[in-house]
């Protein structure tokens, strides 16, 4: 029993004046009070224990949260690092694709430069002969004839300069194509750009595979004028679409030649009749420019149509395709606030249409 209650009980027991009945009543009351005190003490003790456990739990939770925060922070910086690495890798891929497409272009560029070079060589040869003649005429005192010859030489030199500039422009274009710095938008003759790449591609392919031939159809809208684009970037998109188109018709052509299935029954007709054709057109519709690159190759199966714009998706053998052309094209067109879409009939044709805002 509680000490204080014990003392009170002792005092009461010793009091001789107090009747036994009252002593009993007080003693019972004290015992009850003691019980209640014991219960309260027990409850207090329990609350105390709960409090302590809660404090410990709270501490543990705080520690756990702190650990989680640290983990998140680490994940975050790891993510930032991966993102940076991804960006660097992407830049490298873009450069790789540029170099790969430059490879596609080399044969075409060589062919394109050969023409002006031939002119320059021939005209300088002829001019030399004309100057020799002029000297003879001057010796004879025929100044009129000599002047005429001089005029011819001047004309020839103008032609030489013209073709020299043309070769210069081709080389500059090629260098621009491989430059890695991001370029600015500039007013561009889209028809000239498309036509340039079409010819480079065609001659490039012809130089590599002399058996290959294709009909080129072009339809350029003369009302387009100049449009504001990054010419190297849009040039790369067009180059890729045209390269893909030539690849598709060439594949179909080779299959028509080689596959026995094409040699029996009706397909023979089809094989003989197959005329590889690539059509390129531009058109101004309202405030949009549409550029279409169409081929009558094998088309794109429905099952892979969704995938062709994904990076690294390619159906070409290793070494022939990077699978990056269309994915980069998509990015470039998006960066120009445009659209690129494909219409295709399996086994028959594909058409890629670019829409650019004016």
Ligand X SMILES: Nc1ncnc2c1ncn2[C@@H]1O[C@H](COP(=O)(O)OP(=O)(O)O)[C@@H](O)[C@H]1O
Q: Which does 153 bind (CB under 5 to 8 A by kind): Mg ion, ligand X, none?
A: none
Q: Which residue has the tokens 């430069």?
A: 113
One-letter-per-residue 3-state SS of 260-316: HHHHCCHHHHHHHHCCCEEEEEEEEECCEEEEEEEECCCCCCHHHHCCCCCCCCCCC
Q: Which residues contact 270 (CB under 8 A, 6 or more apart)?
A: 256, 262
Comparing every residue's Cβ against Mg ion, the nearest one is 325
CB of 270 to ligand X, least distance (A): 18
Distance of CA 103 to the CA centre of its chain: 19
Q: Please, are residues 356 and 311 in contact by the beta-carbon 8 Å criterion?
A: no
User: Which of 300, 340, 354, 356 contacts ligand X by CB under 6 A?
Assistant: 300
Of 163 and 236, CB closest to ligand X:
236
Of 23 and 254, CB closest to ligand X:
254
Of 39 and 89, CB closest to ligand X:
89
DSSP string, 150-199: HHHHHHHHHHHHHHHHHHHHHHHHHHHHH--SPPPPEEEEHHHHHHHHHH
Q: Which does 316 bind (CB under 5 to 8 A by kind): ligand X, Mg ion, none?
A: ligand X
Of 137 and 351, CB closest to Mg ion:
351
DSSP three-state, residue 142: coil
Q: Cα(297)–Cα(241) distance, rounded to whole angstroms?
A: 13
Residue 321 touching ligand X (CB under 6 A): yes
Residue 240 touching ligand X (CB under 6 A): yes
CB of 304 to ligand X, least distance (A): 6
Of 220 and 313, CB closest to Mg ion:
313
User: Which of 127, 191, 244, 282 contacts ligand X by CB under 6 A?
Assistant: 244
Residue 325 touching ligand X (CB under 6 A): yes
Q: Cα(201)–Cα(34) distance, rounded to whole angstroms?
A: 106
Of 297 and 325, CB closest to Mg ion:
325
Residue 295 touching ligand X (CB under 6 A): yes
Q: Which does 295 bind (CB under 5 to 8 A by kind): Mg ion, ligand X, none?
A: ligand X
Residue 308 touching ligand X (CB under 6 A): yes
User: Which residues of the chain form contacts with Mg ion (CB under 5 A)?
Assistant: 240, 244, 325
Q: Which does 350 bind (CB under 5 to 8 A by kind): Mg ion, ligand X, none?
A: ligand X
Of 220 and 309, CB closest to ligand X:
309
Identify the CA nearest to 239 among candidates 286, 283, 291: 291
Q: Which stretch binds ligand X (CB under 6 A): 86-94, 228-236, 239-247, 266-274?
A: 239-247
Of 134 and 326, CB closest to Mg ion:
326
CB of 263 to ligand X, least distance (A): 24
Residue 313 touching ligand X (CB under 6 A): yes
Q: Which stretch binds ligand X (CB under 6 A): 62-70, 109-117, 207-215, 242-250?
A: 242-250
Distance of CA 126 to the CA centre of its chain: 51
CB of 309 to ligand X, least distance (A): 7
Identify the CA nearest to 180 among candidates 236, 219, 124: 236
Residue 326 touching ligand X (CB under 6 A): yes
CA dihedral sign of residues 242, 248, 249, 250: positive
Residue 322 touching ligand X (CB under 6 A): yes
β-pairing, 288-295 vs 349-357, is antiparallel
DSSP string, 207-238: HH-TT---EEEEE--TT--EEEE-HHHHHHHH
Diameter over CA atoms, the chain: 175
Q: Which residues bind ligand X (CB under 6 A)?
A: 240, 244-245, 248, 295, 297-298, 300, 308, 313-316, 321-327, 350
């Amino acid at each position: 029993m509680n000490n204080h209650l014990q003392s009170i009980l002792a005092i009461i027991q010793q009091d001789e004046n107090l009747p036994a009945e009252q002593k009993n009543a007080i003693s019972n009351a004290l015992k009850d009070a003691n019980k209640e005190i014991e219960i309260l003490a027990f409850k207090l003790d329990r609350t105390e224990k709960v409090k302590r456990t809660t404090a410990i739990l709270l501490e543990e939770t705080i520690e756990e949260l702190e650990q989680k925060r640290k983990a998140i922070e680490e994940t975050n910086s790891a993510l930032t690092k991966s993102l940076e690495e991804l960006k660097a890798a992407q830049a490298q891929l873009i450069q790789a694709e540029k170099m790969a497409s430059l490879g596609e272009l080399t044969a075409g560029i060589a062919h394109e430069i050969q023409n002006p070079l031939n002119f320059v060589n021939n005209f300088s040869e002829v001019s030399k002969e004309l100057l020799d003649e002029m000297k003879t005429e001057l010796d004879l005192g025929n100044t009129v004839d000599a002047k005429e010859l001089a005029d011819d030489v001047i004309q020839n030199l103008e032609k030489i300069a013209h073709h020299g500039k043309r070769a210069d422009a081709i080389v500059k274009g090629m260098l621009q194509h491989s430059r890695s710095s991001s370029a600015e938008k500039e007013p561009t003759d889209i028809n000239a750009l498309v036509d340039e790449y079409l010819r480079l591609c065609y001659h490039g392919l012809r130089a590599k595979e002399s058996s290959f031939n294709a009909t080129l159809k072009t339809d350029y809208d003369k009302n387009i004028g100049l449009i504001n684009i990054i010419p190297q970037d849009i040039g790369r998109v067009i180059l890729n679409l045209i390269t893909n188109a030539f690849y598709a018709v060439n594949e179909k052509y080779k299959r028509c030649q080689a596959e026995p299935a094409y040699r029996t029954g009706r397909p023979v007709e089809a094989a003989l009749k197959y005329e590889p054709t690539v059509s390129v057109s531009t058109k101004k519709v309202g405030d949009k420019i549409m550029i279409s690159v169409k081929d009558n190759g094998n088309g794109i199966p429905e099952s892979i149509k969704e995938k062709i714009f994904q990076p690294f998706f390619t159906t070409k053998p290793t070494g022939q395709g990077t699978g990056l052309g269309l994915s980069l094209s998509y990015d470039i067109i998006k960066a120009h606030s445009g659209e690129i879409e494909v219409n295709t009939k399996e086994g028959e044709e594909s058409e890629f249409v670019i829409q650019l805002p004016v």
